[in-house]
């Protein structure tokens, strides 16, 4: 016995999550091309850990196992962790990260749909605070030999020969710690880390994520508000400061095409559970993340600022939603006349 409506549009949480995973594929493919297959190992590792942790937590909470395990949400979290962590991070770093995300950030808050914080970003923030150096070592672009990477993940010691700092990290370190005469142009011109518009290799991975984001928009899984507000704000603020002092502030193309900006814009900021839901709220929420990201990247001590920015805005999301409720039918204009 059920009530109207008696027929429903074929859609499910599972299909939403699977399409998000599908949208990540172009970015992952380019990632493998530039940085080697290690990321695939991390994705596998994270996925297995996530599913195991999810199953254990569901069992502990007395929830139907198959129904929730199949929803794909744990896999999305796992993949985002694998893609934001360094691909040559030791296996236990990824495992702890995923456990943090699934057990603490997701299930202890009530499971699917209940978490106030983005689980993947909780994992990232925790790990970068706990293991800053391990979280900053990236394989050198083009150094795609699989065996050394495998050893780095499962070996006991890190292979310094194959690692290098991320472009964001390199630029920040150079500007902050080198002599006072260092300029953005000087740093960017003298280092193999940097590419044409962003980080070398990174810019192409970002393009891959952008492609996936367009697919999500086309599938109507995300709306334009968050990616647009995030990218536009990051562009404007970094562009404004680069115009003000190009020697100290790097321009917008660098910000948009390095680090987690593009992945963040379409896949992280857009997490519906922990973000804003009203149209205006989405704009404010994403713009806030962009602003904080730029501040942390420029003045902070961490290689990327997206995780902290997302968590900070997660806290503000309910409040933003409350103050940005769209007017209800007939309430827009008290007179009710034509708009």
Partner 1 sequence: MSALQRLFGFHGGVKPAYHKEASTTAPIAVAPTPTRLVIPLHQSIGGPPRPLVKPGERVLKGQRIGSADGNVSSAVHASTSGTVVAVEMCLMPHTSGLSALCVVIEPDGRDEWIALQAFDYRAATPTQTRDYLRDAGVVGLGGAVFPTYLKLNAGKQGKLETLVLNGAECEPFITCDDVLMRERADAILRGAVIMREMLAAGQVLVGIEDNKPEAVAAMEAAARAVNAASGDDAIRVVAVPTRYPAGGAKQLIRVLTGIEVPHGERSTDYGVQCFNVGTAYAIHEAIELGQPLISRIVTVAGNVGHARNYQVLFGTPMKDLIALCAPLPDSDRVIMGGPMMGFLMPADQVPVVKATNCVLVGSKKLFPPPPPEMPCIRCGECAKVCPADLQPFEMYWFSRARIFGKAQEYNLFDCIECGCCAYVCPSRIPLVDYYRFAKSEIWTREVEKEAADEARERYEFRLLREEREKQEKAAKLAAKTAAGREKAAAAVAEAQKPAVTPEEDAKKALIAAALERVKTQKELVHPENTVDLTPEQQAEVAAIEARRAEIREMAKPHLRQDD
The residues that touch partner 1, with contacts defined as CB under 8 A, are: 1-9, 11-13, 15-16, 61, 64, 67-68, 71, 73, 110-114, 221, 223, 272-273, 277-278, 325-333, 336-339
Phi and psi of 186, rounded to 5°? -65, -45
Smallest separation (angstroms) from partner 1 to the CB of 291: 23
Identify which of residues 18 and 37 has a Cβ nearer to partner 1 in the complex.
18
Residues 6+ apart with CB under 8 A from 185: 246, 247
Would you call 8 exposed, middle or buried from its count of C-beta atoms within 10 A (0-12, 13-18, 19+)?
Answer: exposed
Q: Which strand (E) or helix (H) includes residue 138?
A: strand 138-139
Smallest separation (angstroms) from partner 1 to the CB of 185: 43
Identify which of residues 247 and 277 has a Cβ nearer to partner 1 in the complex.
277
Q: What is the 3-state secondary structure (H, E, C) of 82-93?
A: HHHCCCCCCHHH
Dist. CA 21–CA 19, nearest whole Å? 5
CB-based contact 206:252 (threshold 8 Å): no
70 HSE (CA, 13 A, CB side): 6
Smallest separation (angstroms) from partner 1 to the CB of 51: 17
CB-based contact 27:39 (threshold 8 Å): no
Identify which of residues 164 and 222 has a Cβ nearer to partner 1 in the complex.
222
Identify which of residues 68 and 117 has a Cβ nearer to partner 1 in the complex.
68
∠ CA 127-132-135, rounded to 5° = 70
Identify which of residues 225 and 255 has a Cβ nearer to partner 1 in the complex.
225
Smallest separation (angstroms) from partner 1 to the CB of 3: 5
Smallest separation (angstroms) from partner 1 to the CB of 277: 5
Identify which of residues 73 and 193 has a Cβ nearer to partner 1 in the complex.
73
Identify which of residues 115 and 166 has a Cβ nearer to partner 1 in the complex.
115
What is the SS3 assignment for 57?
Answer: helix
Which residue carries 């292979």 as its tokens?
159
Smallest separation (angstroms) from partner 1 to the CB of 21: 15
Smallest separation (angstroms) from partner 1 to the CB of 331: 6
Q: Show the DSSP H helices in 157-278 as ranges.
A: 167-177, 184-189, 202-218, 225-244, 252-256, 261-263
Dist. CA 305–CA 132, nearest whole Å? 13
Smallest separation (angstroms) from partner 1 to the CB of 144: 37
Identify which of residues 190 and 333 has a Cβ nearer to partner 1 in the complex.
333
């Amino acid at each position: 016995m059920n009530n109207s409506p008696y027929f429903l549009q074929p859609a499910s949480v599972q299909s939403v999550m699977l399409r998000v995973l599908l949208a990540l594929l172009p970015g992952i493919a380019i990632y493998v091309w530039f940085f080697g297959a290690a990321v695939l190992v991390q994705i596998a590792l994270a996925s297995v850990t996530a599913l195991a942790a999810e199953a254990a937590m569901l069992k502990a909470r007395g929830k139907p196992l198959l129904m929730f395990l199949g929803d794909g949400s744990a896999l999305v979290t796992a993949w985002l962790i694998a893609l934001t962590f360094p691909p040559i991070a030791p296996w236990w770093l990824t495992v702890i990260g995923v456990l943090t995300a699934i057990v603490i950030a997701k299930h202890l808050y009530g499971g699917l749909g209940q978490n106030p914080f983005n689980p993947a970003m909780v994992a990232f923030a925790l790990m970068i605070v706990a293991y800053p150096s391990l979280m900053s070592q990236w394989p050198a672009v083009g150094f795609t030999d699989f065996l050394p990477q495998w050893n780095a993940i499962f070996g006991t010691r890190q292979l310094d020969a194959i690692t290098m700092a991320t472009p964001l990290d390199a630029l920040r370190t150079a500007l902050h710690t080198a002599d006072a005469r260092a300029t953005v142009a000087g740093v960017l011109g003298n280092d193999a880390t940097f590419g044409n518009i962003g980080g070398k290799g990174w810019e192409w991975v970002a393009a891959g994520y952008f492609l996936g984001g367009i697919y999500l928009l086309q599938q109507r899984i995300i709306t334009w508000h968050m990616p647009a507000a995030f990218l536009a704000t990051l562009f404007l603020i970094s562009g404004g400061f680069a115009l003000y002092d190009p020697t100290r502030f790097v321009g917008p193309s660098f910000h948009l095409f390095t680090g987690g900006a593009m992945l963040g814009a379409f896949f992280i900021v857009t997490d519906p559970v922990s973000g804003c839901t009203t149209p205006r709220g989405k704009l404010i929420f994403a713009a806030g993340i962009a602003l904080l990201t730029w501040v942390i990247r420029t003045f902070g001590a961490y290689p990327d600022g997206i995780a902290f920015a997302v968590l900070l805005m997660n806290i503000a999301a309910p409040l933003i939603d409350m103050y940005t409720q769209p007017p209800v039918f007939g309430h827009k204009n008290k007179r009710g006349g034509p708009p």
